[in-house]
Amino acid sequence: MARTDDMPSNSPLTGRVLLDSESNFFIKDVNFPESYVVVEKSVQNKDAYTPQAIGTEHPTRTTYFLYEESVSDIGNGIFEIDSKYAVVPPTSYTFEVIQLPYVKFWGLAVIGGGGISIGTSYLSTFLNVQSTADLHNFSAEGFTDTKEKSGTINAACRVKTVFTSIDLVNRKDGNIDLSFPVSTSPESVGDGAYNCGYFGNSANPVTNVSIDTEQTFTFTAANPSPKVQISSSVYAGNIFMQKTYEIIGTVKV
């Protein structure tokens, strides 16, 4: 490791002088055990200093990318520079409880012709939908009486997080190629496409019961629900994180 008082007096420090390539090493996010950060320390004349571009590779740890740079004035016209480089963490799983909307629809079918005779009542229950108006292609024809109950329910979800390093040029021009596959299938599970709509109880429809009848959605880690939520955000610098949520527990509505 170099020291600033070891520098020759005729050295103008117009370029950066590395003091310590690994001045600190830590975990950036405790939720992701392999979210390592290495800090590089260097010095340079203040009037010659130009920040490095976010996303620059570490000179020796090429899987690490610069996400933050800070400077401190140590006198004599010199900046001390701390450059933080984060590794792209591997795919990771965590767990969260989120609130999901649900709707229960009850419809009474009748048979016409002469006197009206009551036929059968049908009860269907759906998760991840706000109201029956959101149920595309839903038909209420044939029901003379309908009821609806809706609300939100807590659901235990397994959250899969995938990390991706984005090129600085694409960060600026918006041409970021993150994968957001969407499926209209109610059986979009595992690593399949995200299901952006509702999905129904496997017992639908239940006949001749009231709308207050409890219905159960059962999912496990081996047999999760369709993806119920997806999100993307910046993790560090040009490293993005994308999350998908699947229910892995029992939900009763």
Question: What's the pLDDT tens digit per position in 9-63?
Answer: 445 667 888 888 888 999 999 888 899 999 999 999 988 899 999 889 898 888 8
Domain ranges (residues) in the chain: 12-87, 92-252
Tokens of 111: 């048979």
* Residues present in the chain in total: 253
Phi first, then psi: give them for residue 107, nearest 5 degrees.
-130, 140
193 and 182 Cβ atoms separated by less than 8 Å? yes
- For residue 226, the model assigns a pLDDT of 83
**Which amino acid belongs to residue 46?**
K
pTM, rounded to two decimals = 0.77
**Whether 253 contacts 214, CB under 8 Å:** yes
Of residues 187, 208, 207, the one with CA closest to residue 199: 187
pLDDT per position as a tens digit, 64-103: 999 999 999 988 889 999 999 999 999 999 999 999 999 9
The Cα 46–Cα 31 span in angstroms is 37
pLDDT at 203: 86
